[in-house]
Amino acid sequence: MQIFIDSAKLEEIKEAYNAGILDGVTTNPSLIKKAVEEIKKRGDGIDMEDYIKEILKTAHNARVSLEVTEYIYDKMVEQGRKLFKMFNPAAKNVYIKIPANPSFEGEKGKEFDGLRAIKTLSQEGIPVNCTLVFTPEQALLAAKAGAKIVSPFAGRIDDYLRTKNNIAFDKSDYYPADGKNDLNDNGIVSGIDLVRQIAEIFKKHSIEAEVLAASIRNTRQAREAALAGADIATLPFEVIKELLAHYKTREGMRSFTDDAIPEYVNLTKGRN
Which positions are catalytic? Answer: 97
Of 128 and 260, nearer to ligand E4P (C-beta) is: 128
Binding map of ligand E4P across residues 111-140, x = CB under 6 A, - = no contact: --------------------x---------
Question: Considering the rule CB under 6 A, would residue 153 count as an interface residue with ligand E4P?
Answer: yes
Half-sphere exposure (Cβ direction) of 76: Cα atoms closer than 13 Å:
28
**Closest CB 141 distance from ligand E4P, rounded Å:** 18
Question: Considering the rule CB under 6 A, would residue 6 count as an interface residue with ligand E4P?
Answer: yes
Question: Considering the rule CB under 6 A, would residue 190 count as an interface residue with ligand E4P?
Answer: no
Q: Which of 8, 22, 28, 66 binds ligand E4P (CB under 6 A)?
A: 28
Question: Considering the rule CB under 6 A, would residue 71 count as an interface residue with ligand E4P?
Answer: no
Binding map of ligand E4P across residues 221-240, x = CB under 6 A, - = no contact: -------------x------
Helix or strand run (H / E) with residue 234: strand 232-235
* CA trace torsion 109, 113, 116, 121 (10° rounding): 160
Question: Considering the rule CB under 6 A, would residue 75 count as an interface residue with ligand E4P?
Answer: no
- Give the Cα separation of 51 and 4 in Å (integer): 19
**Closest CB 114 distance from ligand E4P, rounded Å:** 15
Torsional class of 146: left (φ above 0), alpha (ψ -120 to 50), beta (otherwise): left
Q: Coil, helix or strand for 239?
A: helix
Of 235 and 250, nearer to ligand E4P (C-beta) is: 235
- Give the Cα separation of 166 and 270 in Å (integer): 64
Of 29 and 252, nearer to ligand E4P (C-beta) is: 29
* CA trace torsion 73, 78, 82, 83 (10° rounding): -10
Q: For CA atoms 190, 192, 193, 198, give the dihedral sign.
A: positive
Q: Which residues bind ligand E4P (CB under 6 A)?
A: 6, 26, 28, 31, 131, 151, 153, 155-156, 214-215, 217, 234
